[in-house]
Amino acid sequence: MIDLHTHSIFSDGELLPSELVRRAVVHGYTAIAITDHVDFTNIEHVLDGIKKAKYLEEVWDIRVLAGVEITHVPPQKISGLVALARELGAEIVVVHGETLVEPVLPGTNRAAIEAGADILAHPGLISKEDAMLAAELGVCLEITARCGHNRANGHVVRIAEEVGADMIVGTDSHSPGDLVTDEEALNIAMGAGLSEKHAQDVLFSKPLSLINTRLI
């Protein structure tokens, strides 16, 4: 499993980075991004802490990536925060999309895509036009394992396949029980409407390609 959307105690997760990564190792993960919630008020503090978790790569066979999830930031401010996150060393930049279960401002999906985020998390009823732009700019649309946010997974898959947008599976883990195995992740992807072959690509090839591109 390569999971590029998780949370620790640096935002609203329950686990220290060390415990989150340890549990990921037990689940068979080969890579994990810790992407805690940020806005302009806390991004420096959060990234400073998360980057220190890379020491775990020295002792466990897992890649640990320092990232952020830009969350509930006004659309007109997202581009600047994406740029700042990269300047501060974020290896993976996720933007909290227009999920069906939170009052995310309309226009957030578009702003995240235009800003060149790596992943648009749980983008809800994303429009075909925004999905087409994501395909053009190489922004991954998330198929999420998280309850509530996953209500629109089927729509996301249908639109993404129609326009050729890249997809990725993320757990949006906040607690120990949110992490999944490869088999569970495959079932989530197939349950959202992907063929087994496409699901395998979304689970492994695409996230690995994204990691390697960002770390060149």
Q: How far apart are CA 88 and CA 48, in angstroms?
A: 8
The 3-state DSSP class for residue 123 equals coil
Q: Which domains does the chain have, with CATH numbers?
A: 2-214 (3.20.20.140)
Q: What angle do CA 157, 162, 168 make, to 5 degrees?
A: 35
pLDDT of residue 213: 82
Determine if residue 179 is left, alpha or beta; phi over 0 gives left, psi from -120 to 50 gives alpha, anything else beta.
Answer: beta
Residues 6 or more apart in contact with residue 210 via CB below 8 angstroms: 4, 92, 118, 119, 140, 168
The yes-or-no verdict on residue 42 having pLDDT over 90 is yes
Q: How far apart are CA 148 and CA 99, in angstroms?
A: 8
pLDDT in tens, 170-181: 999 999 999 999
Q: Is the CA virtual torsion 77, 83, 85, 88 positive or negative? A: negative
Torsion of the alpha carbons at 21, 57, 27 and 17, rounded to the nearest 10: 0
pLDDT in tens, 75-112: 999 999 999 999 999 999 999 999 999 999 999 999 99
Q: What is the pTM of this model?
A: 0.97
Q: How far apart are CA 61 and CA 212, in angstroms?
A: 17
Per-chain mean pLDDT for the chain = 97
The yes-or-no verdict on residue 216 having pLDDT over 60 is no
Q: Which of 212, 170, 181, 192 is nearest to 69 (CA)?
A: 170
The yes-or-no verdict on residue 214 having pLDDT over 80 is no
The yes-or-no verdict on residue 12 having pLDDT over 80 is yes
Do residues 30 and 62 touch, judged by C-beta distance below 8 A? yes
Using pLDDT thresholds of 50, 70 and 90, give the confidence band for residue 57: very high
| % of residues, the chain, pLDDT over 70 | 99
pLDDT in tens, 124-159: 999 999 999 999 999 999 999 999 999 999 999 999
Using pLDDT thresholds of 50, 70 and 90, give the confidence band for residue 209: very high
